Amino acid sequence: MHRSLVEKFKEAFTSVLPITIIVMLLHFTISPMPLGTVVLFITGTILLVIGMGIFTLGADMAIMPIGEFIGASLVKSRKLLIFVIGSFILGVAVTVAEPDLQVLAKQVPSVPDVVLLGSVAIGVGIFLVIALLRILFKMRLSYILLIMYSIVFLVAAFTSPDYLAVAFDSGGVTTGPITVPFILALGMGVSTVRSGKSAEEDSFGLCGISSIGPIIAVLIMGIFFDSSGGGYGFETASTINNLSELLSLYKNGIFVFFKEVTIAFSPIILIFAAYNIFYLKLPKRQIAKIAVGIVYTILGLTIFLTGVNIGFMPAGNYLGNSLASLSYNWILIPLSVLIGFFVVTAEPAVHVLNKQVEDITSGAISKKMMMAGLSLGVGIALALAMIRMMFGISIWFFLLPGYIIALTLTFFVPQIFTAIAFDSGGVASGTMAATFLLPFAIGVASALGGNPMTDAFGIIAMVAMMPLITVQIMGVIYMVKMKRNKDIIDYKEDDTELNDEDDFDIIEY
């Protein structure tokens, strides 16, 4: 276990290092930050590395096994009603436990947090059931995505423009560090029991379908709630003046986030305990390992969220405001590509997905290959988001053509790439997007004199959309390479057969 933890720390450090270097280079060159903000950022980075390392180890030990065990037991019950109800409850429970959603909930004016959280959780629960039923009844993912996103844009046409960006953002943040490993493992458990030729492909796509539920839920709320009735409530700690303030800030933060994570995670623990008593009946040794993993998960996520919220938020907000205030603020576009390319590597859920993709595809789709596709997609997404804010372009002109391209590609690439792509969109727009990129966009919008509801919000939606395209294009390249290799092998085999025949003729002659 000690060796595994060291490896996780190394992975976390390697992931966070690039974005840390970029922020510090900006600080020492064109956008110097207050000393207190720099201290918060550095200490937050250290906590982020420690938290990510502990969390990913805990996810491997507890979250993924729990999801696989429960998913398998739901299928083995062979009762559709139990399967549907159980899947719905699990979807609601993991969504309520998702910390990224809490960050977004406080930003939506005129809608109480409880109403938003409840609606989004129900949306995820319903669409998780749909995603799991797809596995059971072997439905084609492309058709489901086409139908569901047609409904999304139909509802969006009747919703206030202020809620359009927030709705797509909610779909992105819902699939975060708790939801992703659990839902992926749940799908793996269901598809393994169901087996069949497409079991490998079916284990993916659940996050992609589940993230549609929150979009529809918030869009429907936008029809009934008036955004003008409330103000923008996003707040971040700005800076510190001494060591006492620093220690006090992190002490309070750790306590608050530990309480939130523990309360949010308790439904999952209770559900697993109930399943184990009545259905699973796992050996004590295995239960002990899962219990230790749960402790690691809660502890790691607490440290991670404390570092990201207290350390990264003020730095992101300050940099966005400072860079947008420059006379040459066009530099935001290339810088956003660079930031986006590296910030996705700091997402804990991304590493969980990439590892599972490599394991299930037996290395055919490597972690490096996945990370390249995601990094490219997020980099392009941030550049487009900056262009949108700088020129005041409606998000409709990006989301509609983007999803048309993504949905069209689903009919031309291998299904496993489609499933992984739509999972990747939600995974890439996780904690770092909510706590660094969103404050960064808010700083830019404020400096440009824009409206955060329509300008800053939507950056997570863009981050969630672009990997759908880039990962599927990666699938097209993969398919072309496989075809080329097959043609080369066929040619060599034909050439060998021809030579053998010639040799036979010569001998016979």
Pseudo-torsion of CA 19, 20, 26, 27, nearest 10°?
Answer: 160
What are the tokens at 408? 């069209």
> Is residue 360 exposed (0-12), middle (13-18) or buried (19+ Cβ within 10 Å)?
buried
What pLDDT shows up at residue 227? 57
What are the tokens at 456? 């800053």
CB 432 within 8 A of CB 349: no
Containing domain of residue 424, as a range? Answer: 2-232+239-508
Report the alpha-carbon distance of residue 33 to residue 26 in Å, rounded: 9
Using alpha carbons only, what angle is made at residue 74 by residues 114 and 64, rounded to the nearest 5 degrees?
Answer: 70
What pLDDT shows up at residue 392? 87
> Is residue 34 exposed (0-12), middle (13-18) or buried (19+ Cβ within 10 Å)?
middle
Report the alpha-carbon distance of residue 230 to residue 210 in Å, rounded: 29
What pLDDT shows up at residue 509? 33
Report the alpha-carbon distance of residue 264 to residue 277 in Å, rounded: 22
Q: How many CB atoms lie within 10 A of CB 88?
A: 18
What pLDDT shows up at residue 278? 82
Query: Dihedral sign, CA of 132, 137, 138, 142?
Result: negative
What are the tokens at 41? 């950022």
Cβ partners under 8 Å of residue 494, min gap 6: none
pTM here is 0.77
Backbone angles phi, psi at 59, to 5 degrees: -65, -40
Report the alpha-carbon distance of residue 141 to residue 82 in Å, rounded: 23
CA distances from 435 to 313, 452, 482 (A): 5, 15, 40
| Nearest to 164, CA basis, from 414, 498, 455 | 455
Helix, strand, coil fractions of the chain, as percent rounded to 5: 85, 0, 15
CA distances from 460 to 19, 105, 385, 399, 434 (A): 18, 14, 9, 12, 7
Q: What is the 3-state secondary structure (H, E, C) of 72-92?
A: HHHHHCCCHHHHHHHHHHHHH
CB 192 within 8 A of CB 240: no
Check residue 404 and report its DSSP letter: H
The number of folded domains in the chain is 1
**Which segments of the chain have a pLDDT < 50?**
229-234, 498, 503-509
What pLDDT shows up at residue 322? 92
Cβ partners under 8 Å of residue 237, min gap 6: 40, 249, 310, 313, 314
| Nearest to 187, CA basis, from 64, 77, 100 | 64
Report the alpha-carbon distance of residue 270 to residue 320 in Å, rounded: 42
